[in-house]
Amino acid sequence: MELSSSDVSQVKWFNPHGDPSNVGIAWQRWLRSFELYAVGRGVKNAEQKRALLLHLCRTEVQDIFFSLEEEEGQTPTRNQRKPSKHFQPKINVPYERYCFRSMAQEDGESIEKFIVRLRQRAVRCNFQKQTRKFVTK
């Protein structure tokens, strides 16, 4: 798999130093984008995928990734889930549910956009299988 500089430049880099309450969500969105990119480029080998992920998310995330591996005595080829655990904030579920239930459709907002906002907020509420029930309630 050979990547040109134009291919790589289309992948937006991840900033791990953003708002601590949103960095976990931003990481999940970035990771989803990376997974789509890797599938589109035909990257199937786990080692290549990991190297590409670390290259595209830049040195700040690389530093975090390797420091987490060193802490736990892991080799650099193991455990790609470390950054996800690191960036995931502690969620105050009762507060998130309060925010969810307080949501209202904004002026001029289509019902489709409102439902998308509800679904995005519901992810933080730990509703799991009840999400559809709460969104349509």
Question: If DSSP codes are grouped into helix, strand and coil, which group holds residue 7?
Answer: helix
pLDDT in tens, 4-54: 544 655 777 788 887 777 787 788 888 888 889 989 989 888 888 888 888
Question: What type of residue is 65?
Answer: F
Confidence of residue 118 (pLDDT cuts 50, 70, 90): very high
- State the pLDDT at residue 7: 60
Work out the average pLDDT over 109-122.
92
| Cβ atoms of 68 and 82 closer than 8 Å | yes
- Domains of the chain by residue range: 5-87, 93-135
* Half-sphere exposure at residue 95, Cβ-oriented, CA atoms within 13 angstroms: 4
pTM: 0.58
Q: How confident is the model at residue 131 (pLDDT cuts 50, 70, 90)?
A: low
Question: CA 18, 119, 89 angle in degrees (round to 5)?
Answer: 30
